[in-house]
Homo-oligomer: A and B are copies of this chain.
């Protein structure tokens, strides 16, 4: 497994729980705190692998549920795995699809053994066990594997949250066993994370952390965040989990988040992030800038010949004006969504670089204050 070499904690901030480190996989290193652009269906929407690399992406995320349903496992397996299929030779983390089964699939029925559901694409019936989910990701060739978990919505009653948390732990243990049985010799190591559930209940979150730690994983996800709860509750849960998880393992806040969410979670000791916002907002003509979000397709930008963000060095900002991007978005030209997505992904990756540098230099809280001050100013 080589799990002792997987994560190296390089620097801890003296004034907060922020930290920087490095994940080492067979397909390359990932500096943390890191942001993973989301490539749900085996593509980060609108962007090419070359653009992602040039923007500084060290890892992308993809989704087991979506890829299993379309194009299907056999097609990816015959391609030689997901990396070859999508032409991405750096690390890939695959989400288990637990969240998608609970948010997209039809007629799902859950039991301790797994989850029955119907595909949201064609209505076909499927059954996923936690063991299946590990094996599927093994075939995909993911560098970092997520176990099947049970997600709950917000708000969620305590009883339901407890059942889901316990099932998540039980599935995590089964996943661990399946994962340990995968022969690793001669293949690239695949790292398995545990997912902390427990909704907004502090004691459930802590119990979940403890049980997962007892089993032992290569890293830990804080799941069930960014599902509609107020921000203070999100930060509260992230902080509680980060505090209960081991220092020597990476911590990943799944689906988090917007730039200010990421900075807060870094402060609490979180190392890894993913979010659809850069590309989803981008396709809708909304850009992240150091002075906040701007919706470039709106009328005020019609004759604004400045770049999306005058502090940005991405291809979009170096070459195109807000006026042009507005025109593209209004004329429904795909290049618009593509160029704003590219900027947004670059913005996120640049933010992570700045965070890492600030942590390394011991200036993280000052950086945070300046960044958030500018970010919440009106652009």
Contact = CB atoms under 8 A, between A and B. Distances in A.
Contact of A42 (B75, B78, B327): B327
Interface in A258-272: none
Integer count of this chain's copies in the complex: 2
B327 A75 contact: yes
A45 interface: yes
A338 interface: yes
Contacts of A74: 303
Interface stretch (A100-108, A138-146, A231-239, A318-326): A318-326
B320 A46 contact: no
Contact of A303 (B50, B78, B326): B78
A323 B80 CA distance: 12
Nearest to A327: B71
A292 interface: no
A315 B42 CA distance: 18
A360 interface: no
B45 A324 contact: no
Interface string A85-103: 1110000000000000000
A46 B324 contact: no
Contacts of A291: none
Interface in A298-325: 302-303, 305, 315, 319-321, 323-324
- Size category of the A interface is 35 or more
B45 A75 contact: no
Given A75-B302, A323-B75, A328 B87 contact: no
A321 B71 CA distance: 13
Contacts of A328: 41-43
Nearest to A334: B46
A24 interface: no
Q: Which 10 A-B pairs have the closest CB atoms?
A: A71-B327, A87-B319, A46-B334, A41-B331, A43-B335, A43-B333, A85-B324, A334-B334, A87-B320, A70-B331
